[in-house]
Structure 1
Amino acid sequence: MFAPILRNREFRAMALTEAMSTVGDQLTRVALALLVFDRTGSAGLGGLTYALTFLPTVAGGLLLSPLADTRPRRSTLIAIDVLRGAAVLAMVAPGTPLVVLWSLVAFCAFLNGPYSAARLALLRDVLSQDQYGAGMALRQSLSQGAQLLGFLSGGLLASIFSPGTCLLFDCASFVGSALTLRIFVRPRPAALSGGERSTVAGTVRLVWGSPVLRTVFLTTFTGLFFLGPDALAAPLASELSLSARWVGFFMASGGLFSVIGLAAFGRFVSADRYLRAFPISFLAPGLPLLPVVVVHDPIKILILFGISGAAWAVLTVIAVTSFAGLLPDDQRGRAMGVAGSMNATSQGVGAFLAGLLADAVGVGCAISLLGAAGVLFALLAIAGWRRAVVNPTRSITGARATPDQHAKPDAAQPERPATYNS
């Protein structure tokens, strides 16, 4: 089912650039986790640093995501890659004060907002509607594989060389990404012409006005609960008296299981079944985290983290595919930017709260409590989802009835995607 998608040169290029960026991002997260924890010995400050790789994304998404619709999407991606590469390179300077380091991390995260908006919107331009669901599953699988490689190699590089080596590799990944996009992805005009205007507020009204879109949007907050295994990897390894390599192993477990899980998901679950799979996919990521508090074997912890990560990856594919398919093209960039920003911000807040919770009750207990909170949140969201899909057509039409007043007249009438055919 992936063969036609892999023959698409632009999709291959975009998947490669995302994989390169993902590897680099995870190398940086491992480096920062070790660097800050070694300097301070505080799980809270380590969680804060990890959070800064996510939190400012919401500001970037809200302020700059319109660029994904008002500017050519390819050129937006290239420019942001160059800026982020320069910022990461500046982090490598020896003796960089923590305040400066945190500022550079926040700047990169700020740029993630418009970058995510432009990339997801451009993917919808590159792939046809009937390919998008399978393409998202393949993209997520490749991204998880890259995350796995990044975390594993990050732990090894940091232990053999230094955290600075990880940062240099991340800088190189941004340069490679910009060059690949420039060479292999063809330029396209902006979705909105120069005389047209649209606002993020109007796009938010569009999303919140539809029960279906609104419920899918709630999945962007799951990062509040499921970042514990990554954010607390360093203090967990310390608590269990394990070497620095285990930090990378813990962080990589979700990626490893996700590659396997997403391959099976893409093979056996077609886009027209996503609607039925949504409730269980929402519940699944939190359940494996519940027993972590009573488990002390690192291999068993790896398995629990891996199952949770794989379930979260499947939920992401279902949610992103459904969300993007319902949005009109001239508002897709902004809506995906807002959703991506909220997702990243929730992960940042989750990482910070995980650190504070771990300082208060212990690492294992903190992860289990976050998993329980994730299950409760999913149950509440599922109740809203079931009300929304009693009449999916009416729910979707509700979103169309409240378009941005500045959008094109026909922009509020997107074609109903295969995801909601039942």
Structure 2
Amino acid sequence: MSLAGSFLDIRPLRTSPVFRRLLIGRTVSVLGGFMTMVTVMYQVWDRTHSTAWTGAVGLAQALPLVGFGLFAGAWADRADRRRVFLTATVGQAVCSLALAVQGFTGHVPVAGVLLLVAVQSAFGALGAPAAGVFLPRLLPKDQVAAGLALQQVTAQSMMLLGPALAGVLLGWFGIGVCYLLDALSFGLAFYGAFGLPPLPPEGTPGRPGLRGALDGLRFLAGHRVVRGALITDLAATVLSFPVSLFPLVNAERFGDDPRTLGLFLSALAVGGVAATALSGPLTRLARPGPVMLCASAGWGAALVLFGLSTSPWVGLALLVLAGAADATAVVARSTIVQTRTPDALLGRVTAAEQIVGQAGPSLGNVRGGLLAGWTSGATALVAGGALCVLAVAGVATTTPELRDRKTPATEPAVS
């Protein structure tokens, strides 16, 4: 393979102008989202100096997604996904404008700020399942993985840039300007999706409300490949997500140096960007199942070694490897979900994937913190990573379809 073939597969950018517009709008919107995340945390802390209130920010962002996600997916599977996404984007922009207004005036209580954050998260939960159908409907099947990798690398890059940019702008202009820039970023996301053709569900539209959501869950229970992909993600996050352990491990092993602690999260992001930038061979391989299994096991193994390391530089290198494995697993898992799910169910399954992605790390942080309280940070890391590797091996053993090159596009759902 040539050197160019080792880098990110950019065929979707060349072949699909619509995808290019979507990617630009999504990238700018993700940047605005990370800026708002930092700005909300800063504002809440500045007003309360309470870790309970800053913790409530995470709940305000997560609870609407978890509670509303499957119902939003059922709605997206009955309507024009383009229109649903545009509606959600307008709703998120209005919430950002309201946050900007209160940021300039300073008259809204902290509970009101969190309410706006929760409403914006609810609109995000509505838009995500609709956006989940865009790539498989706009790109040839052999380019879906490449499109997902492009989305992943831009999102990881914005995760590196967004918080730093927010810090600079907060110091120069204050919180109102940061919120306003986020509102403007949704304008580009709206522009990116506005030129899409209508995207109604293919096949029989889903049933409304709770019945439609339950149909989505029945599909997940009966489709071994998609179910195995989501279980693998839960194994990697619930059993081994390490972020809550970083402060303790830094104190135990690396002298409690705040500079080292700050580099831990950056190392994960750097690994994710690097792996996705070099993902061309893997996305062209058309074997997302084995790629996901190997990458998820690599994530767990890297965390085991990080828990055993005593050198900060070795530890950071291992976190770069962990971040690379995680980003690779995310692209492969999303490829499985978007290419193995019937279009009429894709909104609900995408919503379930979003819920798993949101709830898994939160539960993993709780698990790690509790285990570390009984043992130590390093023990919690090593145990979690080892459990992740064992769980992934269990999924690979019980779901041989994930190890195969060719997997049927659909499987009958159990009743």
| TM-score normalised to structure 1 length | 0.78
Question: For 1:66, which of 57, 74, 95 is the aligned residue?
Answer: 74
Residues 56, 196 of structure 1: alpha-carbon distance in 2 compared, 3 angstrom cutoff = closer
Per the alignment, do residues 390 and 254 of structure 1 end up closer, same or farther by CA in structure 2, a change over 3 Å counting?
closer
Is 1:179 equivalent to 2:186 in the alignment?
A: no
Residue 379 of structure 1 and its aligned partner are, at CA, apart by 1.8
Are 1:148 and 1:252, in contact at CA under 8 Å, matched by a contact in 2?
A: yes
**Count of aligned pairs between the two proteins:** 395
Equivalence for 1:31: 39
Deviations for 1:309-328, whole angstroms, at most 9, x for unmatched residues? 32211110111101221111
- Tell me which of 353, 362, 366 is aligned to 1:339: 353
Alpha-carbon RMSD: 3.9
Question: Conserved in 1, the CA contact under 8 Å of 2:78 and 2:200?
Answer: no
Structure 1 window deviating more from structure 2 (150-159 vs 59-68): it is 150-159
1:225 Cα deviation from its structure 2 partner:
5.9
How far residue 60 of structure 1 moved from its aligned partner, in angstroms, is 2.1
Of the candidates 367, 385, 393, which is equivalent to residue 396 of structure 2?
385
Q: Which runs of 5+ in 2 are unaligned?
A: none
Q: Quick one: distance in 2 between partners of 1:350 and 1:19?
A: 27
The structural deviation recorded for 1:45 is: 4.5
Q: Which amino acid aligns with 1:21?
A: S
In structure 1, give the amino acid aligned to 2:93: G
Residues 376-422 of structure 1, C-alpha deviations (whole Å, 9 max, x = no match)? 134223212222116978x9679723267xxxxxxxxxxxxxxxxxx
Task: Output one character per residue of 1:185-216: Cα deviation in whole Å (capped at 9) or x when no partner.
Answer: 23333435679767221221122123322211
Aligned-partner SS, 1:188 = coil
Tell me by how many angstroms 1:164 deviates.
4.0
What SS does the corresponding residue of 1:314 show, helix, strand or coil?
Answer: helix
The reply to whether residue 317 of structure 1 matches residue 317 of structure 2 is no
Residue matched to 2:109: 97
**Structure 1 residue 162 and structure 2 residue 171: aligned?**
no
Matching residue of 1:207: 220
Cα distance change on mapping 1:59 and 1:34 into 2, 3 Å: same
Q: Which amino acid aligns with 1:346?
A: G
Q: Please say if residues 97 and 179 of structure 2, whose CA atoms lie closer than 8 Å, have aligned partners that are also in contact.
A: yes
2:200 maps to a residue whose letter is: P
CA gap of 1:300–1:396, structure 2 versus 1, over 3 A, is: closer
| Alpha carbons 1:36, 1:45 under 8 Å: kept | yes
Match of 1:263 in 2: 277
1:49 to 38, 42, 57: 57
Q: 1:61 to 1:196 in 2, by over 3 A?
A: closer
Distance in 1 between residues matched to 2:364 and 2:167, nearest whole Å: 22
Q: CA deviation at 1:294?
A: 8.5
SS in 2 for 1:206: helix
Aligned to 1:138: 150
Question: How far does residue 12 in structure 1 lie from its aligned partner after superposition?
Answer: 0.9
Q: Give the secondary structure class of the aligned counterpart of 1:168.
A: helix
Q: Which runs of 5+ in 1 are unaligned?
A: 405-422
1:6 corresponds in structure 2 to 13
Matches within 5 A, 1:191-206: 191=202, 199-206=212-219
Tell me, in whole angstroms, the C-alpha distance in 2 between the residues paired with 1:164 and 1:303: 38
- For residues 174 and 50 of structure 2, what CA distance do their matches in structure 1 show? 20
Deviation at 1:126, TM superposition (A): 0.7
Alpha-carbon deviations, 1:99-140, whole Å to 9, x = none? 222222222222322322111112110111111122212221
Secondary structure at the aligned position of 1:109 is classed as: helix
User: % of aligned pairs identical?
Assistant: 23
1:330 corresponds in structure 2 to 344
Structure 2 contact 290–402 (Cα < 8 Å) conserved: no
CA contact (8 A) 1:55 1:349 kept: no
Find the aligned partners of 1:399 and 1:161 in 2 and give their Cα distance.
52
Paired with 2:40 and 2:57, the residues of 1 have a C-alpha distance of: 7
Measured in 1, the distance between the counterparts of 2:314 and 2:290 equals 31
Distance 1:104 1:368 in 2: 39
Tell me how far 1:232 sits from its aligned partner.
7.4
Write the distance in 2 (CA, Å) between the matches of 1:231 and 1:163: 30
